[in-house]
Amino acid sequence: MSVTTNFETFCNNLLITQTKRSTISDRYLAICKRLNKDFWGMDTTSGGRYVGSFGRNTANSYVSDIDMLFEMPLSTYNTYNAYISNGQSALLQAVKNSIATTYPNTSLRGDGQIVQVTFSDSMKFEVLPAFKNDDGSYTYANSNNGGSWKKTNPVPEISAVSCGDGLTNNNLRPLCRMARAWKYYNSVPISGLLIDTLAHRFLTAWSNRDKSYLYYDFMSRDFFSYLKNQDANQNTWYAIGSGQSIYNPDNFRYKATVAYNKSLEAIQQETDNFTWSAKQKWREIYGNRFPE
């Protein structure tokens, strides 16, 4: 198999199956329906939004954590903001109790800013109850340290990834999914939003951003080079689209260096017609969803 076929097969293997997407959708809609009934008094499944990697469409087939935001009525904010102590925690408990009505036998817990719903197949939904601001951002509850309100702005991040994918001949999202496979297989300490941010910055400036799968070996090599050369003293980046801070204190550069060196070996082995050895080297980087 050629480089083109290998990487095309790999990228297809990283797509979330329709069966899994249907399961995610069913659970998402059930959660929205319950929260609408209990907080808005309406029988509808509107008001929710996928966020995180699934919302940006950069999640791959390994995905098990689904981030979703649900817009709450302003009256609910006023109620819990009036609490003398940690109304934020009380809000999360109210949301947790609501979801438990629909999923009484499912593990639920309020955790800092979200309500985590863990299903029997180990899929987790992280539900962020939030209040929409006039500028399109959202205010959400932080129950830590006595409680506070914080702001998030995921919509411009989703838009930035979509725009970046268009600017790169639809290569950005595959790169993000490939990087997640590397993260998953090698336990790389890098957040998903940082992957998407750095992939966007790298690829939109890369000279071969408009090429096909034939260039994905070079794209991998050069992206790992870009990662390993991130400032060694930097631990905060700013997200594409929103400009929100991404705090990532753990050092991912060493594993990026290892991946870069292995990509050099893989490319050389392919050049020397040792195609099987080249694929094994890519599998050391990306895991067993890269074809044998």
Q: In this structure, which CATH number among 3.40.50.300, 3.10.20.740, 3.40.50.1100, 3.30.460.90 belongs to the domain 18-152?
A: 3.30.460.90
The first and second tokens of residue 30, run together, are 């059930």
pLDDT mean across residues, the chain: 97
Q: Above pLDDT 90, what percent of the chain?
A: 98
CA distance 90 to 96: 10
Residue 111 has pLDDT above 80, yes or no: no
Q: In the block, which residue shows the tokens 């390993």?
A: 228
Residue 78 has pLDDT above 90, yes or no: yes
Residue 1 has pLDDT above 80, yes or no: no
Tell me the mean pLDDT in the region 132-159: 96
Kindly report, residue by residue over 89-110, the tens digit of the pLDDT: 999 999 999 999 999 989 998 8
Q: In the block, which residue shows the tokens 């950005």?
A: 172
Split at pLDDT 50, 70, 90, the class of 24 is: very high
Q: In the block, which residue shows the tokens 């050049």?
A: 271
Contact between 223 and 242 under an 8 Å Cβ cutoff? The reply is no
Q: What is the dihedral of CA 184, 187, 189, 192, to 10 degrees?
A: 0
**What confidence score (pLDDT) does residue 203 get?**
98
CA distance 226 to 14: 22
- Beta bridge pairs of residue 108: 117
Kindly report, residue by residue over 170-182, the tens digit of the pLDDT: 999 999 999 999 9
Say how far residue 102 (Cα) sits from the centre of its chain: 26
Kindly report, residue by residue over 215-244, the tens digit of the pLDDT: 999 999 999 999 999 999 999 999 999 999
Kindly report, residue by residue over 5-22, the tens digit of the pLDDT: 999 999 999 999 999 999
Burial 21-41, CB ≥16 within 10 A → b, else e:
eeebeebbebbbbbbbeebbe
Residue 130 vs residues 10, 54, 90, 150, 237: alpha-carbon distances, Å: 37, 18, 14, 10, 24
**What confidence score (pLDDT) does residue 3 get?**
95
Contact between 256 and 244 under an 8 Å Cβ cutoff? The reply is no
Residue 277 has pLDDT above 80, yes or no: yes
Residue range(s) occupied by CATH 3.30.460.90 in the chain: 18-152
**What confidence score (pLDDT) does residue 153 get?**
96
Nearest one of 113, 125, 178 to 152, comparing CA atoms: 113
**What confidence score (pLDDT) does residue 110 get?**
86
